[in-house]
């Protein structure tokens, strides 16, 4: 866990979350799946004027109404309460009620007309009215699609399952004209298109939910995907600044981890724009300066990291390519007080700046890393002043304050034979070089790259993250990654799935070549990236043949 003393922004307690429930009523049409939406009041304190799904807070009466609700054997008490709340809100806001009589008949129109949608004042409660008319709520036909927790920066926060159910036949939604207006049936893709054209205001969770709902063709497909009693995804979004404007992100979005590191309590102050003119401060003891070398291979550019502070001096990780401006900016950001320069590996966008940066510093800090192997390309030759041992600790120390920044070396061959990573032990941070990237997978290019070594090194990094309680990964390309061990597990799973596809292609064409297998194994990758993918494919083929699986 990051030390509180290193956080840039004062810690604060986000607003407490309140339990709520939302219901997506679905129907099949010749044009495809449609969902019922309604427009919130322009005077609403939350999401004014936005198109939403019916829903609202869970109240005490919902938890006490289990006796009038049908229940699946696998449905928990919490899920049942959520379903009852969603059904109640749908009735109050739109007059739609998923219920049936004791003999199984759907709720009759005359009964619906006799029920009071407003339970304010002395009016009987929703549950009491259902009991009075002998109705059983069809909560057993309500399933969890998603789980949203309102962003930490907002003054009103809710913990909300987004539930799904089939629209009952014969009922017509009618808005209450106080909280909700203009009920409309819409295909998810159409709603998103109208929102993009600024003709259909949607809140962030609604957009992301519709994006996922658009992947289903029928109501049965949606309900079938939700039969495991678990949400298909859970999210508590975070917001940052992009081009000076507020932008929100889910956990699966590449900027999310960086926002979690820099603004853990949800402050919207961190700029996410990529630039190379000045360092981006991530913590008091951590800055990132991105080299001006963006490309298909380097993403926004190569990240050089500056660890330390004015009292301890600085350690620079991956000084980058041979770019005079970038080297000068690294020197200026540290005031020239660089105690060590570490290269995670010898590739041309990581290590060439080490010597000229060293020459700029009066104290001539040592260049540390691992020497390149004979298998390295001529453009990736590197000899450090001293080779780093696996497990060695590099320490920046301020004795007067008792402050230390300790970086533990972890040898991780695979992307390159001389690749290493660093763990900042006091703050639970992993500097992953090119072994783990954000938004893409690294290339493993034989003979200097080796796929078996790469996968084994992922296991090594997982163990290092577990022992040092690492939460964040700082890659050489892209934003910070959160949930370090989950990211490593996902990356390994991705590589093994790709290997399975390659093996299937090899078995389908046993006399084929890399050129023959590439379009099959990488059919899901844009063709413009195939020349790069061919290198990793060759590494997988080498590994499969070594293991006698091909």
Rg of the chain (C-alpha set): 28
At 322, list the tokens: 């041979």
Query: How much is the pLDDT for 550?
Result: 63
User: Which of 54, 64, 69 lies closest to 21 in space, CA to CA?
Assistant: 54
Sheet holding 429-433, edge to edge: 393-398, 403-411, 420-424, 429-433, 472-475
Residue 532 CA to its chain's centroid (Å): 25
Q: pLDDT tens digits for 448-464?
A: 999 999 999 999 999 99
User: Which of 187, 146, 13, 165 lies closest to 90 in space, CA to CA?
Assistant: 165
Count of other CB atoms within 10 angstroms of residue 508: 11
Q: pLDDT tens digits for 371-392?
A: 999 999 998 999 999 999 999 9
User: Which of 442, 427, 439 lies closest to 472 in space, CA to CA?
Assistant: 427
Fold entry, domain 17-236: Nucleoside Triphosphate Pyrophosphohydrolase (3.90.79)
pLDDT at position 16 over 80: yes
Give the mean pLDDT of 200-214.
96
Q: What is 322-370 written as a DSSP string?
A: S-HHHHHHHHHHHTT-EEEEE-SS--TTTSTTHHHHHHHSTT-PPEEE-
Q: Give the span between the Cα atoms of 313 and 305, in whole angstroms.
A: 14
Q: How confident is the model at residue 135 (pLDDT cuts 50, 70, 90)?
A: very high
Q: pLDDT tens digits for 50-92?
A: 999 999 999 999 999 999 999 999 999 999 999 999 999 999 9
Query: How much is the pLDDT for 53?
Result: 96
Q: pLDDT tens digits for 298-331?
A: 999 999 999 999 999 999 999 999 999 999 999 9
HSE, CB side, 13 Å, CA atoms: give it for residue 253.
Answer: 17
CA angle 372, 374, 377 (to 5 degrees): 75
Q: What is 202-254 written as a DSSP string?
A: --HHHHHHHHHHTT-SSHHHHHHHTTTSS-S-EE--EEEEETTEEEEE-TTST
**If you average pLDDT over every residue of the chain, what do you get?**
95
Q: What is 365-430 written as a DSSP string?
A: PPEEE-PPPTTS-GGG----SEEPPTT-EEEEEETTTTEEEEEEEEE--SSSTT-EEEEEGGGTEE
Q: Give the span between the Cα atoms of 368 and 256, in whole angstroms.
A: 31
Give the mean pLDDT of 154-162.
95
At 113, list the tokens: 């007309």
* Lowest-confidence region among 7-11, 366-370, 478-482: 7-11
pLDDT at position 181 over 90: no
Query: How much is the pLDDT for 124?
Result: 86
pLDDT at position 46 over 80: no
Residue 417 CA to its chain's centroid (Å): 30
Query: How much is the pLDDT for 400?
Result: 81
Domain 283-487 = CATH 3.60.15.10: yes
HSE, CB side, 13 Å, CA atoms: give it for residue 84.
Answer: 27
Rounded to a whole number of angstroms, the distance between the first and last alpha carbons of the chain is 43
pTM of the predicted structure, to 2 decimals: 0.92
At 421, list the tokens: 């990573």
| Domain boundary assignment for the chain | 17-236, 283-487, 496-546
Please tell me whether the peptide bond between 306 and the residue prior to it is cis, using omega within 30 degrees of 0.
no
Q: pLDDT tens digits for 511-546?
A: 999 999 999 999 999 999 999 999 999 999 999 999
3-state secondary structure of 397: strand
User: Which of 264, 325, 255, 244 lies closest to 289 in space, CA to CA?
Assistant: 325
Query: How much is the pLDDT for 371?
Result: 97
């Amino acid at each position: 866990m990051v030390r509180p003393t290193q956080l840039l922004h004062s810690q604060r307690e986000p607003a407490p979350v309140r339990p709520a429930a939302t219901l997506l009523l679905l129907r099949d049409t010749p044009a495809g799946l449609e969902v019922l939406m309604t427009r919130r009041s322009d005077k609403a304190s939350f999401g004014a004027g936005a198109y939403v799904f019916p829903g609202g807070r869970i109240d005490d009466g919902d938890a006490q109404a289990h006796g009038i609700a049908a229940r699946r054997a696998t449905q928990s008490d919490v899920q049942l309460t959520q379903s009852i709340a969603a059904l109640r809100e749908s009735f109050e806001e739109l007059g739609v009620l998923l219920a049936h009589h004791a003999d199984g008949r759907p709720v009759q129109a005359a009964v619906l007309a006799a029920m009071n949608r407003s339970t304010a004042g002395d009016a009987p409660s929703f549950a009491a009215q259902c009991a009075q008319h002998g109705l059983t709520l069809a909560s057993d036909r309500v399933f969890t699609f998603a789980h949203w927790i309102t962003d930490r920066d907002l003054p009103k926060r809710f913990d909300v399952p987004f539930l799904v159910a089939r629209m009952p036949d014969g009922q017509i939604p009618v808005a209450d004209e106080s909280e909700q207006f203009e009920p409309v049936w819409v295909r998810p893709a159409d709603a998103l298109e109208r929102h993009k054209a600024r003709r259909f205001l949607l809140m962030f969770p609604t957009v992301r939910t519709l994006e996922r709902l658009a992947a289903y063709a029928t109501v049965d497909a949606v309900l079938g995907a939700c039969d495991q009693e678990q949400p298909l995804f859970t999210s508590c979004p975070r917001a940052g600044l992009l081009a000076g404007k507020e932008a929100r992100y889910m956990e699966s979005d590449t900027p999310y981890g960086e926002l979690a590191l820099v603004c853990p309590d949800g402050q919207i102050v961190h700029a996410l724009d990529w630039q190379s003119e000045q360092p981006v401060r991530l913590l008091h003891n951590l800055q990132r300066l991105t080299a001006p070398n963006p490309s298909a291979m380097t993403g926004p550019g190569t990240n050089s990291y500056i660890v330390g502070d004015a009292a301890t001096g600085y350690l620079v990780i991956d000084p980058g390519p041979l770019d005079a401006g970038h080297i000068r900016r690294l020197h200026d950001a540290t005031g020239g007080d660089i105690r060590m320069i570490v290269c995670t590996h010898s590739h041309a966008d990581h290590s060439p700046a080490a010597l000229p940066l060293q020459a700029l510093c009066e104290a001539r800090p040592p260049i540390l890393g691992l020497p390149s192997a004979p298998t390295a390309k001529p453009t990736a030759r590197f000899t450090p002043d001293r080779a780093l041992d696996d497990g060695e600790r590099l320490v920046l120390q301020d004795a007067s304050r008792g402050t230390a920044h300790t970086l533990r070396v972890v040898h991780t061959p695979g992307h390159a034979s001389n690749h290493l990573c660093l763990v900042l032990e006091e703050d639970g941070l992993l500097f992953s070089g090119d072994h783990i990237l954000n938004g893409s997978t690294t290339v493993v290019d034989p003979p200097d790259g080796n796929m078996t070594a790469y996968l084994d090194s992922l296991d090594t990094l997982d163990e290092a993250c577990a022992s040092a309680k690492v939460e964040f990964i700082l890659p050489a390309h892209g934003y910070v990654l959160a949930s370090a061990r989950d990211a490593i597990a996902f990356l390994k799973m991705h590589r093994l799935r790709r290997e399975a596809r390659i093996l299937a292609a090899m078995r389908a064409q046993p006399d084929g070549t890399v050129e023959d297998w590439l379009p099959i194994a990488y059919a899901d990758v844009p063709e413009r990236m195939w020349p790069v993918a061919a290198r990793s494919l060759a590494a997988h083929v080498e590994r499969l043949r070594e293991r006698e699986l091909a």
